[in-house]
Amino acid sequence: MRTIVYVDAFNLYFGAVKGTPYKWLDLHALAVALLKPENNITGIRYFTAKVSARPDDPGQPTRQQLYLRALRTIPNIQIVYGHYLTHVVWMPLAHTIPGQKPFVQVIKTEEKGSDVNLASYMLVDAAANTFDCAVIVSGDSDLKMPVQLVQDRFNKIVGVLNPQKHPCKALQGTALFYKHIRESALAACQFPPVLVDAKGTFHKPPSW
């Protein structure tokens, strides 16, 4: 069964990977581990955005580029870019102190485009009959309608691998199959610490 995996990188990172030692994640190995043997993975589409250096984390872009380089060692992977918006906003304090302002300025970063790009690519691929089964790696309830359309209009199978800690009832009640990504699966599906591509040898980021 021709299967394409659609990964919302932002949702995966903040839902399952951040704060763990499992950031060096092999997406193909993860898909193979969680799907059935009849799922022939013909493509992986990874929806992300390029991050910028921050005062508290100047090495963030370098680590991301190393990870994207690792992903490109996977055959049939496509990386699709949205964008991040970073701006200074006023946010309320959780606990105020008498005489202190109840708001503080913070740097807010928002990822834009990945969910729309994912839905668009999946619908176009369904219309072009490039898969029999689509697998979404996301716990975003906004994807409920695209999932429903692909199943109803194109008679395709759509499954969800949810990286979020809590169930997504909207997707769970719509997709034809649904699984939670457990930490044990992340641990078992890491790239080797040293990889080789056409440019040479490179290593997993030391802080990972």
For each of the domains in the chain, give its residue range(s) and CATH number, in order of start: 2-82+112-203 (3.40.50.1010)
**Dihedral sign for Cα atoms in the order 68, 23, 168, 36:** positive
**Tens digits of residue pLDDT in 113-138:** 678 999 999 999 999 999 999 999 99
Task: Confirm whether pTM is higher than 0.85.
Answer: yes
> What pLDDT tens digit does each residue of the chain (208 aa) get?
999 999 999 999 999 999 999 999 999 999 999 999 999 999 999 999 988 878 878 778 999 999 999 999 999 999 999 855 555 666 677 666 676 767 766 555 555 567 899 999 999 999 999 999 999 999 999 999 999 999 999 999 999 999 999 999 999 999 999 999 999 999 999 999 999 999 999 999 999 9
**Tens digits of residue pLDDT in 93-111:** 766 667 676 776 655 555 5
The 3-state secondary structure of 86-126, one letter per residue: EEEEEEECCCCCCCCCCEEEEEEEEEECHHHHHHHHHHHHH
